[in-house]
A and B are shown apart, each in its own frame.
Chain A
């Protein structure tokens, strides 16, 4: 029997695709599709527009633009039903179409990912429920790569941390539960953070609820579904709240920088067309919805060139590109010269399309990299990077204040400044109240009074807050106000070796390469669970190196065992560690059915509640690769990264930035 791979990206894609097409098929004739903007990206990833056309979609419209016309009788709404705002918008548009059209419309609403009672209630109040055919498209996880699943909840950060609205937690739990029902329970759930606790509680709760009821509603293998899985090792939940700093830092992997500079959404990035030049026939280019100036580029994880580049530190991307360019050039040229016999010629011609695709991809990435270099050479970039590096390596943050003040005076984008300030606040358990007041004032003077709302939102997110209590005079690293309310980086910096002075970007030996020095706390935590020995030996390694491995092995082991528990003490929020066990008989039955798996090939799911950065994905991939090389360390070796969405520092602080300003919209 073929081994079952849990959290299989292609399975998930296929299912989502089928579900949607089945829904579309159910509507006779042509139809206009109205979709929420935030769903356009995931939709594009799952189904090609030409396929939608085959299924009768005539024209797509964005819900936000409110301009769907009466050109087709059938109107299909594809929207998320969790927020009252979107529901009312749908209701309003149905009403509008109903009143102005001479066409008698048929309305269909596909709620994503589920039909909610609130939506029913609101539609009923608006008097349109009776006219709409309501169904749901259960789209939870959207695979971004083979090992990256995202819920693509764009509002997750503001929902969770500003409004304290637990909807993303519930949806995450639902999504994970569906996977559990398919592949079995996570034998162990480990996590850190208050929201992680909530998520774990929900998962356990849902488990009893599922056993209690839904068994006869057709989930298929119900009696096997709820026994611990034999292919999944564990679920690790990281609440973004425990480690905002990692997000705030500028990512230094190639993919991370693309995200920072151009923004990636659902594997697509928009680049000024002048950047990539006249390469009109890019294989990855999606010309449909782009404006005249911007061009959409698909960041394709399956592109061979990109797969080697994406997770590398940007410092070596230039070299890698060079190498590929040289290889391509030499191979094509040599072949042209050597192509004497027809057999050789045929072989060469057969390879040509591959070369061409590679060449196109090379061209694209070279121009992208050039553009990024332009960006990284700017003074603002280097200055803020310097501040970040200093803060993370444990320097006294007050020494950085001059730089930050200068950046404020220079009117660099607000997000850049806020990132630095928040970074200082999150890594040092707050900013000295006096300094904080000064900065707040400076920001309001420089960027406008509307940002008093921004600042207060940041405080609500506990991104930017005064340092509490006794540590006022204590300087950096003083004990936090209350244990468990803030993440205390100074002990962690030592105990988890968050800062690596001997970082090797070209041939990385530790995850610290993704930030050229800083090893993301979130990933270190994951390591402390699944890669204990390596981490322990890393921590023990004397700066001089050349350590006698076997002698200290035992001590690594003992130290490694408690790494997670020890570090968790210094991190804010609750610590979760639950084991889910099932009936012994059922466990055995499952093990028999799936064949015996050695632990090495088990899957570890790392779920980032509140979003994951591309740099962290790269770091986790690095960890997974190391685990594979060594055959795992008692736990699984395949790591699947799941998250509510992909975030960047800009997006994180951007969630709180007030967009309106006084005096209308003529400014900025």
Chain B
């Protein structure tokens, strides 16, 4: 059994760790709330642009934009949204697992994948396991701006335009609630046709300058906004996951401290008992 002093040192060291994890938990909780607010703010844009594209796609039916044309897949592209930092439980690993399953499914059919990574962890992971990373952006921070994803998205859109990839997916964690984050793969390109609402009143816009130019710009914006939405959502997930991970770390530290305290008291008690028995036996000898 360790001596009293050793146990005391260990307890105080674990207490220090506990203080840190506790602080990190509280920081994550407050960051999560802010991230959730930002997540709500980005939704109106995405839904608006989706509506407009829906109308536009119907407006000029003899012109099919390449982003809407499904073609045979020879190579697929993934935009992988991950966190920059760790200490968030299995968040990133679950995401990578989902992504690899999908990528493997294509690979078995002889369709290789290209990757675009947003966030440090994804590029580190793909760097180790191999994988063709064509674009990357790290250090997105807690409040990423839409501009930060534009470059990476453009690389993938260009690849789609010139035919080097035939499908484009975005992979991110969907924020369900604080306890649940679901790894999600969404197909960005080609756009999947939405079910047409029945009995819809047909009308058309006036276009300036012309539908094609507008459609091209809007589709780019649409893909960007979807990816940006993914990034923002992933940050909320990161903070939630970190909060849970740090909470359980704090609880664990508390349990270890309790155990060590019991052990310390036992050691102390054993010490006292021994002293008493020494004194008693000494007194008896006299």
Partners in one complex: no
Which of A's residues lie within 8 Å of B, judged by CB? none
Which of B's residues lie within 8 Å of A, judged by CB? none
